[in-house]
Chain A
């Protein structure tokens, strides 16, 4: 299976702490994307990082990409209760093909 893997599967933190999720994948990629899914809802796009980029920021989100290790990480700083959700990495191995999703990390932020 080409499906990516997120680590950890579940993460529980307190409000104000940082949350780090990791994603590993198995093929060469054009880019890697992160999505959030609130319970019972669809997926929402968070950020895209291209294969020639190493780091990208968007608000409280910081994504890194290491193509030599075939891995990416998503850092959420100063987490809030509203960040409670499942987070998925997704990638495609060539242009024009659909995204392949990982299994997700479930983040729980308590106040």
Chain B
């Protein structure tokens, strides 16, 4: 079974530029998550999708971050314009059912450095 795929793995951009990350979850997984992990900290949820609908985006900085999952499969996370504090690993994860009680499978992450 293929895991959660993410790209690009690494990205360096200047502040105020834009960047987009792509995620392909495990086949058949209805729930998709984007987490932000700053170095030395635990992952923080940015947004949770159930199929193509948003379940929770309360911690997504909507003035600069956007995410979509148009067909309920792949997802894209965009940052525009980027700030220095956005330097982090962006982890995509998926599960067969929403949240609690279900194992969440993580991708390898997309490492963003904003200079």
Contacts and interface: CB of A to CB of B under 8 A. Distances in A.
A binds B: yes
Interface of A: 3-4, 30-31, 33, 35, 41-45, 48, 50, 88, 90, 92, 94-104
Nearest to A3: B42
A97 B104 contact: no
Contacts of A104: 41-42
Nearest to B35: A101
**Contact residue range for chain B?**
20 to 34
Given A31-B100, A41-B108, A45-B103, A100 B45 contact: yes
B91 A94 contact: no
B83 to A, nearest CB: 21
B100 A94 contact: yes
B99 A92 contact: yes
Contacts of B101: 30-31, 48, 50, 95
Contacts of A92: 99-100
B25 to A, nearest CB: 13
Given A3-B42, A42-B109, A99 B104 contact: yes
Contacts of B40: 103
Given A41-B109, A96-B55, A99-B45, 18 more contacts: A3-B44, A4-B42, A30-B101, A31-B100, A41-B108, A42-B4, A43-B93, A43-B106, A45-B104, A45-B105, A90-B42, A95-B101, A97-B100, A98-B56, A99-B100, A100-B45, A102-B42, A103-B42
Contact of B108 (A3, A42, A90, A97): A42
B109 A96 contact: no
A84 B100 CA distance: 27
B60 to A, nearest CB: 12
B72 interface: no
A48 B100 CA distance: 10
Contacts of B55: 96-98
A48 B101 CA distance: 8
